Amino acid sequence: MERTVASWLGVSLPERLSFFIKSGLFLLASWSILYVLLATSYPAVHDTLHNFRHALAVVPCH
């Protein structure tokens, strides 16, 4: 992946910086997925996961 980005941008990042960028993107993606599954009120998602959200006893939905 680093080679693709390096050839695409013409820049090579230090390994430590690359790790922080990839970690940040992973955490952002994880947070976004959890938000959609547990906090959104979009009917298709809410109705499907309604019982699961109540079972957690942490995520209010009413």
Say what the pLDDT of residue 58 is: 76
Say what the pLDDT of residue 6 is: 61
Say what the pLDDT of residue 4 is: 66
Contacts with 50 (C-beta within 8 Å, 6 or more apart), sequence order: 61
- Angle (CA) 41-29-49 rounded to 5° is 30
Structure tokens at 29: 């993606």
Q: What does the domain layout of the chain look like in residue ranges? A: 2-56
Q: What are the CB-based long-range contacts (under 8 Å, 24+) for 14-20?
A: none
CA distance 61 to 4: 43
* pLDDT tens, the chain, 62 aa long: 666 666 666 777 788 888 999 999 999 999 999 888 888 888 888 888 888 888 887 777 66
